[in-house]
Structure 1
Amino acid sequence: MHCRLYFRTYFWSQMMIFFSLLKGLGNFYFSALRRTLNMLQVALPRGNRSRAAAKIRSARLEHEYTTMISFGSTGESISHEKHSDVPSIFSNIIVGSDPDKSVTHTRVLTSMALGLFASKLPVSSWQVVLSPLANHLMSLSGVQRQVASMIIVSWFKDLRGRDPVSVGTLLAFLSSLKEWLVDLLTCSDPALPTKGSVLPYSELSRTYTKMRNEANNLLHLIDSCAAFKDYSSSLNLNTDVLTVDDAINFASKLLLPSESDIPSETENIFLNNIESAKQGLLSTSGYLKCVQNNLHVTVCSLVASAVVWMSCLPSKLNPVILPLMAAIKREQEEVLQDKAADALAELIFSCIGRKPGPNDKLTKNLCTLTCTDASETPQAAIINSMQVIEDQNLLSIGKRFSSHRSRGHTTSGGDERSKMEGFISRRGSELAFKHLCVKFGPSLFENLPKLWDCLTEFLRPVKTEDGIPEDDASIAQLGRSYEDKDPQSLINNIQVVRSISPHLAEPLRPQLLNLLPSILGCVRHPHVAVRLAAARCITSMAKSLTDDVMVLVIENVIPMLSDLSSVCARQGAGILLSLLVQGLAVELVPYAPFLVVPLLKCMSDPDGSVRQTVTHSFAALVPLLPLSRGASLPCGLSERLSSSAEDVQFLEQLLDNTQIDDFKLNIDLNVELRRYQQEGINWLAFLRRFKLHGILCDDMGLVAHWEYEIEKYIDSSILKPLQYVGSSQDRVTLRSQFDKGI
């Protein structure tokens, strides 16, 4: 009896420490939410130039507003100016260079630990955990609801994998709490997050007070100004219950008269003060709206995750699906977005066989979100030439989501916000794909046929004996079959393949490889954005399917480099090889000997963009050649390619010019060549043999000497020298003799 009492007392004390720690982490919540200002969707109206100073003062005051909030056991808010009185225990857990991210990760990990801890307890001790969980879920604190939901998720996930029988018992304990969770999900208005209550999240109460005080101040200034006589009485505005939307509408619709309509300097001062108060109210209400929306997305997605893992889905799934999809699209913290993606995959898994079911629509929506990131999914309307690719540095892996801009192009704040939203949506959808691949394993396409339909919406699977087409002609034919398709739709299809390929289970990879010939065909597509999308997709596939992909590349893409009938094919091949060299790095060592020679031959291509891409790729591959000596040949290559003795000899001679065989001139010389002279001839013959360019140079001032040497030792019928010297006019005259034979 004493042991049990001691255990319960000890456990309760540890739980209180954990919960206090988690609540204390809420002190830092606003520092994370302040980053959402760049996602602000409220456009602040401009005033006239005379009120610029008022706006600046307002912005400065808002910038200095750094008050933080924490919550005690009673739920009352306590202000902390710049963390001055935050307990040291909380600051000590901040690790790494990004404190906001560290706080979020710490909160998530601690919640998971609490859930695992609770799952190991005997049933008789569960109530010790459930009571504080219920209090947190029923509080007005968004952070406390997040923490409690994550504990429930961790608790149920562990029990379902280790002790499924206990899941039913735990659900019986949580019967009343289950209904409360579902009720929370029906509160879709971020301003009213609790059923039956008009109060906002307690974290926002101080900002609400600030906003309402600013609205009161603005109304007072309006009443004091003769230019707005009787204006406030017509508003019928109750600031005690003022909502965010009401505040924004009130301030946005307040139009001030122009300076020419102001009769006195005193009135002008009043109007400047009104403008300053108006801008302050717009700033606070806009900030509050954004923070409130993002907090609601996070809270509701975690509550929905708890409902999913408790296996207590309501008859109508929209209240569960909508917050999860909102987090997939908008949750800025990756660790929290991953929680939503995991729950969404579990929800889809639970709905297999449900009629009617949401899985087809959810799958299609995820595929659409995958293509929203313009930094990863090429936009056909923008990327319409190789010059755009060069200007935006789109062939540099890992640098696309940055500040690269086209020459002469300035990105607006709206464009930056759109880019960020696209990035978050793509990341969320790819996290969902990752969890779906883990959840379903080899049965992914069998249970989610809509996903395979999305992968093959335009791309046609090619099934042959070896899973690859027989020759480059087949690839070219496939490429031509896509030329009449909408470029952006084709790009989006390719992007979906790219997003899911790294996560597929091993047994499904051969099925995915059936799409590779069609994607290779798109490498030679007339639209440059399609070529770029195909090259990126193939590079991503090569990271997990290196041997299979590289065999196809060597067999079918390398010949494109020498296709003089299609500059698009040569450009696409150059783009692909450039991305492969960067993306695979040392993984390309076994294949380097098969790439260097074709690249070298293309360095004199008539198209400048081809020359540039192959030159960079060649320069990156040459250091890998010594590593390839003695390496076994990649399996799967045709006998014709794997036994290319000429290429092997070329590489040996390229790395060591002493390995070049002496070239025997087919003319008689009246002298025996010295060794260095023979080596010069050997080098020129080497360049000619492999269709390369070069110039054999000598010291300046020896032109006459060379002319004398040639005339002395070589018959004029074989080689006739010409001194190309003199003034510019003299050289023009000499050019007429160039085509007379030498």
Structure 2
Amino acid sequence: MIEMATCVLPLQSGRAAGAATSSAPSGELCQLQYLGGPAAAAAGGQQRERAATRARLTGAALLGVLSRYIVQPMPGASYEDMSPLTSYVSLLSAHLGSVSALQRSVVGHVLAEWAQACPEPPLPDSLVHRLHVCLSEPVCYDEMAVSFSRLQQDCRDYLALLRHYNLPVDDSLQTARVLSFEQIRQLSGPVSAELLAGVQDSLSAQVTETLQLRQQSVRTASHLVGDEQTCWATRTQMALARPLVLMNRLTDKLNPVVRPLMESIKRETDPRLQDLAAESIVRLLELHRERQSTPILKIIKNLCVLICYEVCPASTSCVQECRSDGQLGRHGSQRGIITLERLQQTAEERATRRGPTSHDTGGPLAEAAATPTSAEHTLTGQNPQVQRELQRRGAVRALTALCERFAATPPDRLLELSLVQLDAALPTEERAVERLVSALQVTEVIVPSLHAAVAQQALRRLGRLREFLGSQFKSVRHMAARCMAAYARLDLHATLTSVVRHVLPLLGKWLGVRDGAPRWGGGRLKGSGQDPTEIETSYIRGSGVFRLPSSTIGKIRVQATYRFDAVNTPTFATLARCYGAPISRPVTCTCRLCRMTAVERDSGA
């Protein structure tokens, strides 16, 4: 193991991967293994970056497990100057004292893994104090030295150009040895705009255009460098906050520890690091569950808020679908099925574009992962849709881990923002619709991870979901159907029994625009693309808990006043696969379902 570790060269962030040959002093060729592994040798951008991050996390986990043995004194040995613990802590403190983001983050992950392997690691107070200091001090990391120096030089050149044309620049900008990010933003923003607006008549058009181009160049460079600094700070601060949470070495002020963890939940592009932040958040909530303080309640509320950032091709949230015509009572917020509308819009966009789109490659995150860039953070800053998807993904991971960790006793605040909201009456006002849709989005996330002791509370509200399928607002119907798909993962038999008895009959109702809402709610079962997929996974594993009658298949193909034949094909194919799957008679099937199955089998024969 030690020989293999000595072959790993800790290069810069994501720069090298794979293997290379080098000539040894004896003339023999030896193979050098590079950080990230041979699989990342031909990769670029985020794939190489994530391979390097995976290697660092693996090495930190190994060293963290070995730390409990490294600090133990050797039997029979006497230590006059420094004990193994003192020597090891001095080594870690030296890396924490550096201004390298990689060194600080790796030390943080090592200490976190040490805390997991040893519940009470013998860390001195000086090292814990150093961790708190690192969380609160602003640092421009070594990894930013080249880009930051280049940005400083661009600002100096721009200031010199302004002085050349006798434009009055503030003395604080000219005399500052190092311009901060805020000063650079002011220089490339309101300061330059005011200067150029005041002398636009006295300067020629060519000179004004040159100054505007230089201003735009400085502004773009400042945004890129600032986003890169934010990315490094987010990863480093999260790594330093982890061991403090796992060791429960926290102070009365939780904000310095909570803030980097929540920032990682919202901004981190690497799923592994986002999972580590989610686990730390859950551990923090577990440690301070009885503490009815504002930060703890805020964490749960903020996670639920992040869940409600719905991502769709049109960058429109599910709640905003209610405002498609400006008012809830208008026709556009009631009629139709959101999923089918989105699929139709996606099909139209594909037809008008040339080449593959982000939807062909798996969504915005897949498109971002294929972009050849060494800085993942620049993608999130340039694409708001990717940023919203990252926030939702991090919040989903955090709430899922929270439900699994708390098991039979989830926080009351979480249930108040999800299941309890389902007891409300059908909404008729905008704010009531927004609250209900938000609660349904949170419910969709937490229901599959609920403990069996809490699952009954959710199943008792299955009838409320059926009522929401008949709502006049399509956003409520949309989320109610998605929640039923999530319920199928919690209790497949109860959910599908409810679907057969109460939801499928809605497909046969058609009484007009307003009264047609129940049919659209039932049509959401066929128009989702998500619901049958969720059901299909458990259905095939359950071996015949549910069999679709041929009459249901016929209703699925019934056309409404508008056609979605092209976009409805994938969902129909999914249901057809379920219908044609081999089925054995289920043990827990009711007599009514058994008779329906026998009739359908005989008629098919």
Shorter-chain TM-score tier: 0.7 to 0.9
- 1:451 equivalent in structure 2: 414
Distance 1:592 1:154 in 2: 45
Residue 202 (structure 1) aligned to one of 126, 142, 154: 142
Residue 119 (structure 1) aligned to one of 68, 73, 91: 68
Please state how far the C-alpha of 1:495 moved relative to its aligned partner. 0.7
Kept in 1, the 8 Å contact 2:155–2:218? The answer is: yes
Please state how far the C-alpha of 1:395 moved relative to its aligned partner. 11
Distance 2:272 2:380 in 1: 26
Residue 471 (structure 2) aligned to one of 522, 525, 528: 525
- 1:585 equivalent in structure 2: 536
- Relative to structure 1, is the Cα distance of residues 634 and 392 closer, same or farther in structure 2, using a 3 angstrom cutoff? farther
Kept in 1, the 8 Å contact 2:65–2:113? The answer is: yes
- Relative to structure 1, is the Cα distance of residues 272 and 326 closer, same or farther in structure 2, using a 3 angstrom cutoff? same
Please state how far the C-alpha of 1:308 moved relative to its aligned partner. 0.8
- 2:550 equivalent in structure 1: 596
Kept in 2, the 8 Å contact 1:94–1:102? The answer is: no
Matched, 1:440 2:440: no
Matched, 1:353 2:310: no
- 2:134 equivalent in structure 1: 184
Please state how far the C-alpha of 1:506 moved relative to its aligned partner. 3.5
- Give the gaps of 5 or more residues in structure 1: 1-9, 32-86, 161-166, 194-199, 405-412, 461-477, 657-742
RMSD: 3.6
Matched, 1:541 2:483: no
- 1:144 equivalent in structure 2: 103
Please state how far the C-alpha of 1:341 moved relative to its aligned partner. 0.9
Please state how far the C-alpha of 1:258 moved relative to its aligned partner. 10
Kept in 2, the 8 Å contact 1:578–1:616? The answer is: no
- Code of the residue aligned with 1:455 in structure 2: it is S
- 2:258 equivalent in structure 1: 321
Deviations 1:451-501 (A, max 9, x none): 1111234212xxxxxxxxxxxxxxxxx9x7445672221111011111112
- 2:446 equivalent in structure 1: 500
- Code of the residue aligned with 1:216 in structure 2: it is R
Residue 296 (structure 1) aligned to one of 233, 237, 248: 233
- 1:561 equivalent in structure 2: 507
Residue 592 (structure 2) aligned to one of 635, 640, 643: 640
Distance 1:230 1:122 in 2: 63
Helix, strand or coil for the counterpart of 1:486?
A: helix
Residue 430 (structure 1) aligned to one of 391, 396, 399: 396
- Code of the residue aligned with 1:362 in structure 2: it is I
Deviations 1:404-463 (A, max 9, x none): 9xxxxxxxx99973322221111111111122223222222xxx1111111234212xxx
Helix, strand or coil for the counterpart of 2:34?
A: helix
- Code of the residue aligned with 2:595 in structure 1: it is S
Residue 301 (structure 2) aligned to one of 364, 385, 391: 364
- Code of the residue aligned with 2:502 in structure 1: it is N
Residue 254 (structure 1) aligned to one of 192, 209, 212: 192
- 1:284 equivalent in structure 2: 221
Kept in 2, the 8 Å contact 1:386–1:609? The answer is: no
Kept in 2, the 8 Å contact 1:433–1:500? The answer is: yes
Matched, 1:103 2:56: no
- Relative to structure 1, is the Cα distance of residues 221 and 625 closer, same or farther in structure 2, using a 3 angstrom cutoff? closer
The number of residues matched between the two structures is 527
Distance 1:236 1:288 in 2: 19
TM-score normalized by the length of structure 2: 0.77
Distance 1:499 1:488 in 2: 17
Distance 1:201 1:232 in 2: 29
Helix, strand or coil for the counterpart of 2:118?
A: helix
- 2:157 equivalent in structure 1: 217
Helix, strand or coil for the counterpart of 1:378?
A: coil
Please state how far the C-alpha of 1:602 moved relative to its aligned partner. 5.8
Once the two structures are superposed, the pairs formed by residues 319-718 of structure 1 within 5 Å of their partners are 319-356=256-293, 358-375=295-312, 378-379=318-319, 380-382=322-324, 384=333, 385-386=335-336, 389-393=339-343, 402=363, 417-444=383-410, 448-460=411-423, 481-483=426-428, 486-565=432-511, 566-579=515-528, 580-585=531-536, 587-588=538-539, 590=544, 593-601=547-555, 603-604=557-558, 607-608=561-562, 619-629=573-583, 631-633=584-586, 635=588, 637=590, 639-644=591-596, 648-650=598-600, 652-653=602-603, 655=604
Please state how far the C-alpha of 1:157 moved relative to its aligned partner. 0.6
Kept in 2, the 8 Å contact 1:551–1:636? The answer is: no
Distance 1:269 1:601 in 2: 68
- Give the gaps of 5 or more residues in structure 2: 18-30, 74-83, 325-331, 347-357, 366-378
- Relative to structure 1, is the Cα distance of residues 92 and 203 closer, same or farther in structure 2, using a 3 angstrom cutoff? closer
Kept in 2, the 8 Å contact 1:604–1:611? The answer is: no
Helix, strand or coil for the counterpart of 1:442?
A: coil
Tell me whether 175-184 or 206-215 shows the greater mean CA deviation.
206-215
Larger radius of gyration: 1
Please state how far the C-alpha of 1:584 moved relative to its aligned partner. 3.0
Distance 2:248 2:344 in 1: 45
Kept in 1, the 8 Å contact 2:338–2:475? The answer is: no
Helix, strand or coil for the counterpart of 1:237?
A: helix
Helix, strand or coil for the counterpart of 2:407?
A: helix
Helix, strand or coil for the counterpart of 1:123?
A: coil
- Relative to structure 1, is the Cα distance of residues 626 and 299 closer, same or farther in structure 2, using a 3 angstrom cutoff? closer
Distance 1:542 1:283 in 2: 48
Kept in 2, the 8 Å contact 1:602–1:610? The answer is: no
Distance 2:51 2:434 in 1: 39
- Code of the residue aligned with 1:100 in structure 2: it is E
- 2:374 equivalent in structure 1: none
Kept in 2, the 8 Å contact 1:298–1:327? The answer is: yes
Distance 1:395 1:634 in 2: 44
Distance 2:228 2:419 in 1: 40
Kept in 1, the 8 Å contact 2:437–2:476? The answer is: yes
Kept in 1, the 8 Å contact 2:36–2:48? The answer is: no
Please state how far the C-alpha of 1:648 moved relative to its aligned partner. 4.1
Helix, strand or coil for the counterpart of 2:291?
A: coil
- Relative to structure 1, is the Cα distance of residues 610 and 595 closer, same or farther in structure 2, using a 3 angstrom cutoff? farther
